[in-house]
Structure 1
Amino acid sequence: MRDDKHLFRSLITVKPGVMRAPLRWVLWDVKDTLLKVRASVGEQYCKEAERMGLSLSPVEVDVAFRQVYRQYSRRYPNYGIAQGLNGQSWWIRVVRETLSQCRVQDPARLNTAANNLYHNFCDAENWEVFPDSVKALESCSSLGLKLGVVSNFDNRLEGILHACGLLSHFSFLITSEEAGVAKPSPAIFDQALQKCGIAADSVAHIGDHYVKDYLTSRSVGIHGFLLDRDNKYNQSDIPQEHRLRSLEELPSRLQRHVD
């Protein structure tokens, strides 16, 4: 993370100045920006295990999941695309390894739980849309702006957005699995700009991660806004007009830059 911050700080100079070109597109991160997982991973995994007659500790599962997730993200980044995996096979391995560390050893149960959990996370009941998301999306559209998604996510994202009632707001989706590259690589934003068909200075991006969303989008000339709901970022190089405490603040920030 520290290397990423230093890299992008060297690539961009964040200035609080006015957007010169009229704004035409707004790109969106999804997880923890527009929606979040409704219950903890431990709770959801334990619920599935209970269906198979297993009793596990949500706290223990959470600890195991975080460890396995970090290992797989480091060893097989972006769902292991470069190593011949895909989102589904990557997640099934993560779930199997997580449950194995919690003393579930039966191969049939591990396979069943992993496959079920992979598909469970397509359901709206496992996701919670933030209360300010829909109104923000509608407000952007009412300003005449087109919307797209740029997300470090697997190819379930379209189904998740559909199930949560958000898909119709977007003209296109780019997932890191589909793109073959993940934030903080600027290449995923280059792909998005190709779909937009306009220059970067007519595009804004909204996301909750300082490096992956804010610094990376600005490194390619996009007007990045950092959504900081919990006030966890205190970096001095984020002008206040680039920081959002909630999505309710977004329309007024964008309106001045639309013709």
Structure 2
Amino acid sequence: MRTPLRWVLWDVKDTLLKVRASVGEQYCKEATQMGLSLSPAEVNAAFLQAYRHYSRRYPNYGVAQGLNGQSWWKGVVRDTFSQCGVQEPALLNTAAKNLYHNFCNAENWEVFPDSVKALESCSSLGLKLGVVSNFDSRLEAILRACGLLSHFSFLITSEEAGVAKPSPAIFKQALQKCGTPSDVVAHVGDHYVNDYLASRSMGIHGFLLDRHNKHNQTDVPEEHRLSSLEGLPSRLLQQMD
């Protein structure tokens, strides 16, 4: 006999919300306030290079190497602007500090139109909700600013957990928070490896959110795929019958 679901775990970025404008546009807005004139396209390209470099050299915000999310992101910002010709240390430090804090504000994030209703529907089914996210410690403030925090019983970020998806260890921490075996837990996220495969490998009922029809992996059955969060409650009900 099937065991009814009791929990739904959620990815956040690009599942429940997304960055409102491009990184280049947001970084250029800060640069303009400091009297600098930069191209969003140039800044975007520099950011991607800096981000990839830091991700390779200091994975998961460098927590294993003595860094934290704040120092990691400030380093990414400074490197981004340095590549764009900004060399004054005071300007680099100001930009890094301001942008790190600016991304805690709701104005820099856009909640997807189907997110709140999906969260409410899950709660109305009697399910408890938690977050498992490869994010830094600002996540709680961001969810609060965006009006989403109250939906969740707990948050686990990769910075605070010391380990990132797709590692089973972060899902083990989540299951400990749930206090239940994996077969009564579902997980929803937009990343094929970090969310779908990783949760499924733990015996969790993983669902892959594919808003833009970009995932063509043949090992994801249709019943595990979601084109939006509107279809989630009916899928969960199927697991609960």
How far residue 255 of structure 1 moved from its aligned partner, in angstroms, is 1.4
Q: List alignment gaps of at least 5 residues for structure 1.
A: 1-18
Q: 1:154 aligns with which of 136, 139, 159?
A: 136
- Match of 1:126? 108
- Percent identity of paired positions between Structure 1 and Structure 2: 83
The answer to whether 1:29 aligns with 2:11 is yes
Q: 1:178 aligns with which of 160, 169, 183?
A: 160
- Match of 1:255? 237
Q: 1:102 aligns with which of 77, 84, 97?
A: 84
Contact 2:2-2:240 at 8 Å conserved across structures: no
SS in 2 for 1:257: helix
Q: How many residues align?
A: 241
Q: Partners in 1 of 2:2 and 2:225 — Cα distance?
A: 19
The one-letter code sitting in structure 2 at the alignment partner of 1:184 is P
Q: Partners in 1 of 2:239 and 2:80 — Cα distance?
A: 47
Q: 1:155-234 residue pairs with structure 2 within 5 A?
A: 155-234=137-216
Q: Show CA shifts across 1:49-99 (max 9, x none).
A: 100000000000000000110110000000000110000000000000000
Q: Give me the TM-score of the superposition, normalised by structure 1.
A: 0.92
Q: Partners in 1 of 2:216 and 2:183 — Cα distance?
A: 26
Q: Give me the TM-score of the superposition, normalised by structure 2.
A: 0.99
Runs of 4+ in 1 over 6 A off after TM superposition: none
Contact 2:19-2:109 at 8 Å conserved across structures: yes
Q: List alignment gaps of at least 5 residues for structure 2.
A: none
- Match of 2:218? 236
The one-letter code sitting in structure 2 at the alignment partner of 1:121 is F
The answer to whether 1:81 aligns with 2:72 is no
Contact 1:143-1:258 at 8 Å conserved across structures: no
Contact 1:38-1:126 at 8 Å conserved across structures: yes
Q: Show CA shifts across 1:2-34 (max 9, x none).
A: xxxxxxxxxxxxxxxxx9221000000000000
